[in-house]
Amino acid sequence: MEINDIAKLFIAAVDKVDFYWNFYTLTLLAMIGWLVSTDKPLTRPLKQLISFGYLLFVAMNIRGLLGAYTLAEAIRQDLLAAASADPGLMRHTQAVLAQHPYDGAPLMVGTIHALLGAVVLAVIWRGRRDQAPQRTPLDP
């Protein structure tokens, strides 16, 4: 396999990482937007259903991200090994790739998902109460 082929595989793996982050961000924004803008009171069973669906989505997203990061790191190592056979080949690229491993990705992914997950679950469970809207003295 030539270095060009390995580089294409690396770009595809990094694109997969970007896809999972973009998918997570869009889903998170859509969900919070819906929660904030809905007029429907959230009952306890509905909150449980939304929470379960969100946690399932997060688990699947974390699994996809960790797999994509693992693949990207393996291909990054292969690309560095292939490029090191010719010291003058891709000298600057080698320096950048050597300085940016994906070893810290699992901690970063877990931390971001845990922090944002806590915010989302707080919005679900504390954002709206199960009670009916209060009437004002001017309501008929």
Average pLDDT value over all residues in the chain: 87
* 82 residue type, one letter: A
What is the pLDDT, as a whole number, of residue 139?
60
CA distances from 42 to 114, 118, 122, 133 (A): 23, 18, 13, 12
pLDDT at 132 over 70: no
> What does the pLDDT look like over 47-104, one tens digit per residue?
999 999 999 999 999 999 999 999 999 999 998 888 877 777 777 777 788 888 888 8
CATH dotted code for 3-126: 1.10.132
Q: What share of the chain in percent tops pLDDT 70?
A: 89
Contact call for residues 117 and 55 (beta carbons, < 8 A): yes
Domain regions of the chain by residue span: 3-126
35 burial type by CB count under 10 A (0-12 exposed, 13-18 middle, 19+ buried): middle
- How much is the pTM? 0.81
Using alpha carbons, select from 125, 17, 8 the residue that is nearest to residue 70.
17
What is the pLDDT, as a whole number, of residue 136?
60
> What does the pLDDT look like over 1-44, one tens digit per residue?
788 888 899 999 999 999 999 999 999 999 988 888 888 888 89
What is the pLDDT, as a whole number, of residue 138?
67
